[in-house]
Amino acid sequence: MIESPPLSIYLDVSSFTLVFVSCSVVAIASQMSGSTKGFVVLRDIGVPVALIGALAGAFGMALNLSDPSLIYQSTSLLLVTALYGGIVSGLGIFIGGQEPSIDSKPDSPIPIYLATGVTFFMCFWGMKISAGLELFFAPVLLSIYGIVVVLAFVRRKKSVLGVLADAALFGSLLCVIIGLIARFSDYVQAGLQISMGGLVLGLLTYLFSVCISYGVGSQGEIDAQRQNWHWLELTGFLLFMYFAPETLREVLLALDA
């Protein structure tokens, strides 16, 4: 007989608070300010907020986990965070619809900016307790993003926020590849910092672009639904490379032994 798992394995107060509260404050502020509808905001930012929490947790776990037997439990926790983001974005899609956002200036952007500040405070809180903020803002990561942003703005054809959102995704892709090269060259901790830390930094930049776009009325410049799929694909690839089952190399080494 198959044992049914308890519902408690899908519950985590910290993850719930990070995802639901931080997304809700931006959605409410945008709705009340006359900008983008609240459920459309949930559709757009649920995934990036959850991925920030999940990746920050994965980064801290990979650096500090001393007991290998706890790795599945820790991985389950980061997936719970991602699940919450999927629920938030799913509600936004089903209720807010899938139509692209259109430019709509709010009556006053101040509530949106304040709500964005709350959301970033909560994200920074999650990053700090997971691995420490300094690891996410290392000079190597800031240098990569600095170069990408400068190049992106050389011949920009979108608004500033639209270009920044695209640059965040491309910079994250570079960080993931550069970090994985370092990791497979036996510089494990440096690789973790560049790939996971860089991806979190890119998601923060992207989240900033989306949230501020609600305040300035340039929502139409960012295709959040398409971007969210790219962020999910990149995150899935990264997590697979670090937490996947044994590789062909390990199988061959076991045969040789």
**DSSP string of 98-142, one letter each residue:** SPPP-----S-SHHHHHHHHHHHHHHHHHHHHHT-HHHHT-HHHH
At residue 111, the pLDDT reads 94
At residue 186, the pLDDT reads 86
| 3 state DSSP class of 186 | coil
Q: pLDDT over 90 for what percent of the chain?
A: 54
| pLDDT classification of 251: cutoffs 50, 70, 90 | low
**Is the pLDDT at 177 greater than 90, yes or no?**
yes
Q: Give just the sign of the alpha carbon dihedral 55, 56, 59, 64.
A: negative
From residue 160, alpha-carbon distances to 148, 166, 233 in Å are: 14, 10, 25
pLDDT, tens digit (0-9, with 9 covering 90-100), for 195-243:
999 999 999 999 999 999 999 988 888 989 899 999 999 999 998 888 7
Q: Give just the sign of the alpha carbon dihedral 174, 178, 181, 187.
A: negative
Question: Residue 190 region, left (φ>0) first, then alpha (ψ -120 to 50), else beta?
Answer: alpha
At residue 142, the pLDDT reads 92
At residue 132, the pLDDT reads 86
235 touches 202 (CB < 8 A): no
At residue 215, the pLDDT reads 93
E-assigned strand segments in the chain: none
116 touches 208 (CB < 8 A): yes
pLDDT, tens digit (0-9, with 9 covering 90-100), for 125-135:
989 988 889 98
Nearest to 124 by CA among 11, 239, 26, 18: 18
| pLDDT classification of 124: cutoffs 50, 70, 90 | very high
Q: Give just the sign of the alpha carbon dihedral 190, 196, 197, 199.
A: positive
From the DSSP assignment, how many helices (H) and strands (E) are in the chain? Answer: 12, 0
Q: Which residue has the tokens 């259109």?
A: 102
Identity (one letter) of the amino acid at 148?
A: V
Cβ neighbourhood burial of 212 (10 Å; 0-12, 13-18, 19+): middle
Q: Which residue has the tokens 């996947």?
A: 244
